[in-house]
Structure 1
Amino acid sequence: MSDNERSGSTVDDDLSLPKATVQKLINEMMPDDVVCAKDTRDLLIDCCVEFIHLIASESNEICEKETKKTIAGEHVLASLKALGYEDYVEEVDDVFKEHKKQQKDRDKKSTRLEKTGISEEELLRQQELLFAQSRQKFEAQNQ
């Protein structure tokens, strides 16, 4: 018998959202004169986790129907539509596009660095040299 079976918990009990972060979001969303009880926060977390499971499960089914092995953003968008959350699709799609753009920008930066032909050791040496020059300028200005 595993520890989870003895304690009566399941693997899903280990999946949650950070309580402090959720509490911060609640505090930001609620009027100043409204206090949210811990039980309410915990119930909200449970609902969010259940929603995530629902979307992930539907996305996985859509992914499998397309004989894909990895759930992609398009599968999540399709699952939102299939489950009746059309109102969220546009905003989620905008965030997804922004994420893809940031990822491309990050990839470009790493490729640009590789194209310089300068080794990591040389870059670190140059960086230390620039720091030393900056320290000298700073110290000269303060004297």
Structure 2
Amino acid sequence: MSDSEGRGTSGVDDELSLPKATVQKLITEMMPDDIVCAKDTRELLIDCCVEFIHLIASEANEICEKETKKTIAAEHVISALQSLGFESYVEEVQEVLNDHKEQQKQDRDRKSTRLENSGMSEEELLKAQQMLFEQSRLKYQEQQQ
């Protein structure tokens, strides 16, 4: 694909890139203090990461389609890693997935606990919310005049 076909000068479409600051932070954390990473090297790493993501996503999509599913699930990504020969990543990916699921559960529990601890019924909370919205609207209208 040429530059005129939508790819940037680094070879990666801007929409399909990774945040440069995030990549720089990862590189800095992974490299010894006495090693410096050149800009073109960072761009090459970004290109490689994007290609890796495309490869895994494409394989996960094929696995998903074979199962006649419409949504790629984490299990499809893990299967893709295995089928593409990246078995060494599976254990760490599974740990991250488990941590993510646990964090989501804790977030849901924390939200429901706050609701329960409010001492108000759902109807009372809704009424209070509507009243706050109305107060906010009135305050905004006053500021506009």
Deviates more, 1:27-36 or 1:38-47: 27-36
Deviates more, 1:99-108 or 1:70-79: 99-108
Q: How many residues are treated as equivalent by the alignment?
A: 119
Per-residue CA shift, 1:46-76, capped at 9, x if unaligned? 0000000111111111111111111111111
Per-residue deviation, 1:8: 3.1
Looking at structure 1, the residues matched to 97 and 90 of structure 2 have their Cα atoms a distance apart, in angstroms, of: 10
Per-residue deviation, 1:9: 1.4
TM-score where L is the length of structure 2: 0.72
Aligned position for 1:51: 52
Aligned position for 2:29: 28
Change (3 A) 1:113 1:37: same
Change (3 A) 1:24 1:95: same
Aligned position for 1:8: 5
Equivalent runs, 1:80-119 vs 2, <5 Å: 80-115=81-116, 118=120, 119=125
Where in structure 2 are there 5+ consecutive unaligned residues? 133-145
- The amino acid across from 1:50 in the alignment is E
Change (3 A) 1:23 1:108: same
| Identity fraction in percent | 63
Aligned position for 1:63: 64
Cα root mean square deviation, aligned: 2.5
Per-residue deviation, 1:112: 3.2
Where in structure 1 are there 5+ consecutive unaligned residues? 126-143
- Structure 1 outlier segments of 4+, above 6 Å: none
Looking at structure 2, the residues matched to 82 and 97 of structure 1 have their Cα atoms a distance apart, in angstroms, of: 21
